[in-house]
Amino acid sequence: MYLPFIFLYAMGVVTRKSLTELVYFALLFLVVVLTMRPKKSVFKNLGFLLGFEGLLFILALFNPGETLVDTPFGPITHEGVYSFFLLLGKAFLSAGTAVVITSSVGFSRILAEMEALRFPRILVLTLAFTYRYLDLFVDETTRMKRALDSRAFGIGKREYYRKLGSLIGEIFLRTYLRNGRIYRAMLSRGFGEFPRVEEPKPSIHTVLLSVLALGGLLI
C-alpha cells in the first residue's frame, strides 16, 4: 500500500528542522523516482510544482538577519536564503513524492487504498469527483482561452491581462454550472456511487518504502 508510505514520508519531511536532515528524504525521493519510473510528463509537472512553490516562499528570502544582497525590495539575508530552501525542500519533497506515486500507480489505486484503510466514504467520493472534474476544468479553460485570443487580437498587453483576469472568475463559474449538469445527467442514468476498486495486497516493495520512511521519521 502506497498511501501509508506517503503519509509517513510527508510527516517525516515536514517535521525536519534543517537542510541536512532533509538529505535522507531527498535520497528516498530519488529511490521512489527510480523504482516507479514515471512518464516524462510527470517531470514537467514536477518542474511546474517546483517553480510554483518557489514563488510561494520567495518572501522568506527577506527574513531578518545577515545581509547578503541589497535589492529594491529589501535585503536578502543569509537566514532568509536558508529558510527559503528549507521551506522549498519540505514542500517539494512531500508534494513531489505524492505526484510521482499517484501518476505511476493511478489515482484509482489511491482511492482503493483509502477505502481499505476505512476512510470516510464521503471523503473518498469527494476526491473521486474532484479528480473526475479536473479534465472538465481544463477543457473549459482551454475553450475560453481560445475564445479570448480570437477576440482580443491587436489589443494592448494591459487590456489583455485585464480580460484574462475576468476570464479566470468566469471559468470557475462555468465549470461549476457544467458540473451540476453532468451530475444531474449521471443521476438520471441511475448513478449511485463509484464502483469499488479491489485493493491489491501489499508488496515487499511498498512495505520496504514504508519502513524506510518510518526510519527517517525516527531519526
Which pLDDT belongs to residue 85? 93
Higher-pLDDT residue of 178, 4: 4
Q: What is the pTM of this model?
A: 0.69
DSSP state of 64: S
Please report which confidence band the pLDDT of residue 115 belongs to, taking 50, 70 and 90 as the band edges: confident
Contact 103, 115 (CB under 8 A): no
Choose the weakest-confidence range: 69-83, 101-115, 174-188. 174-188
Cα distance from N-terminal residue to C-terminal residue, the chain? 23
Which pLDDT belongs to residue 196? 58
For 51-74, how does the pLDDT look when each residue is reduced to its tens digit (9 = 90+)? 988 888 888 888 888 888 888 888
Q: Is the pLDDT of residue 128 over 90?
A: no
Name the nearest CA neighbour of 59 among 87, 34, 38.
87
Over residues 34-48, the mean pLDDT reads: 86
Residues in the chain: 219
Measured distance CA(167)–CA(47) in Å, rounded = 26
Highest averaged pLDDT of the listed ranges 17-21, 84-88, 171-175, 194-198: 84-88
Q: Is the pLDDT of residue 170 over 90?
A: no
For 73-104, how does the pLDDT look when each residue is reduced to its tens digit (9 = 90+)? 888 898 899 999 999 999 999 999 988 888 88
Contact 96, 31 (CB under 8 A): no
Which pLDDT belongs to residue 159? 75
Please report which confidence band the pLDDT of residue 17 belongs to, taking 50, 70 and 90 as the band edges: confident
Q: Degrees (nearest 5) of the Cα angle 189, 190, 194? A: 110
Q: Is the pLDDT of residue 15 over 80?
A: yes
Q: Is the pLDDT of residue 136 over 80?
A: no
